[in-house]
Structure 1
């Protein structure tokens, strides 16, 4: 999405940066994993298709995507590629009305799981959507077997909306109100949003 093309969000454990072409090879390598394909309901793409997808995501009005960096790794190395651990995004079914967004999170690097990195990245993205994109409702679709994600979104305050036996996934939703925004802000803690132009 063009609105976040130059946006960097720094949280406690992670840094969210726009998905750029230099990230594509590592992202492509991640998505060859059968486990990640299953958890994200994704089909493998060729590297050329992945580059095309990156450009599309950057320009589309209906998708806001960030690559997740492990903050400690990045601050010690200064290398974004080595620090990449996953991605998070918002998808807007109706690009003319961004009041409802579907949230997605993936921690691809096994070593970064169960360290609150996914939690931090998700809360940052949800808060960004509320503050800067005027989102009023969130939904998430999670595979039946993805128990860690189901538990995480329930702990964030999402409630089950429906189940699909065909797609083997459950949909959760969260209507946004002032109390939840305060809860998000309290749990995110100190964060910083920067706008910096990158070479594309």
Structure 2
């Protein structure tokens, strides 16, 4: 999505930066891992396909993605200017469609997901902070009012992560082995979401 093509969002432990071509080789390495393929329901891509996917993320107005940088690890940009090491990504998809989209008022509803791929960055709470920052950004800048997470039923760590953020189960899809969660932006989450919107710190990603 072009709206975040030059924007980074600064958090305490993470920095969210736009997915650029420079990130593709490391991202491609991550997605060769069978475990990550399984947990993200992804198919392995060639390097050329990965670059094409990156271009799609940058241009498609139905997709919003940030690379998650771990601020506690050395900068891996090669220039030392980005503030941390690549750790994973966090994404939104405006592709729910059908009754879900109609009920939520069109593009006010989005599917959300997060991946912390680097072993050295797991267990630090980065996924939770990245999700909170993305939701605050998307609610503030794009007007998103409802977030949906589709998680494999055996992925208990991910289910616990979203439940801890206030997501509630609303559907099960046995044929895919998925549990679907939602979070409606309302008074129940205003205590942290509104506060985050008001305190978001942006930077420019050069």
Same fold by TM-score, threshold 0.5 exceeded? Answer: yes
The C-alpha deviation readout for 1:173-199, integer Å capped at 9, x for no partner, is 111114413323557995411244x3x
Which residue does the alignment assign to 1:131? Answer: 140
Pick 1 or 2: higher relative contact order, CA cutoff 8 A, min separation 6: 1
**Residue 135 of structure 2 is aligned to residue 117 of structure 1:** no
- Aligned-pair CA distance for 1:81: 10
The C-alpha deviation readout for 1:53-92, integer Å capped at 9, x for no partner, is 0001100010000000011225698265970000001100
Alignment: residue pair count = 197
Q: Distance in 2 between matches of 1:65 and 1:150?
A: 21
Alignment of 1:83-102 (within 5 A): 83-93=85-95, 97-102=106-111
Task: From 165, 173, 184, give the equivalent of 2:193.
Answer: 184
Q: Distance in 2 between matches of 1:81 and 1:108?
A: 18
- Aligned-pair CA distance for 1:137: 0.5
Q: Please list every run of 5 or more consecutive structure 1 residues that lacks an aligned counterpart in the other structure.
A: none
Q: Please list every run of 5 or more consecutive structure 2 residues that lacks an aligned counterpart in the other structure.
A: none
Q: Name the CA shift for 1:21/1:178 in 2 (closer, same or farther; >3 Å).
A: same
Between 1:186-195 and 1:140-149, the stretch displaced more is 186-195
| Alpha-carbon RMSD | 2.4
Q: Distance in 2 between matches of 1:61 and 1:187?
A: 24
Which residue does the alignment assign to 1:9? Answer: 9
Between 1:108-117 and 1:178-187, the stretch displaced more is 178-187
Q: Distance in 1 between matches of 2:180 and 2:115?
A: 16
Task: From 156, 171, 174, give the equivalent of 1:165.
Answer: 174
Task: From 71, 80, 97, give the equivalent of 1:78.
Answer: 80
Q: Distance in 1 between matches of 2:128 and 2:86?
A: 16
**Residue 58 of structure 2 is aligned to residue 49 of structure 1:** no
Q: Name the CA shift for 1:119/1:174 in 2 (closer, same or farther; >3 Å).
A: same
Contact conserved, 1:12 with 1:190, CA < 8 A, in 2? no
SS of residue in 2 equivalent to 1:73: coil
Q: Name the CA shift for 1:123/1:74 in 2 (closer, same or farther; >3 Å).
A: farther
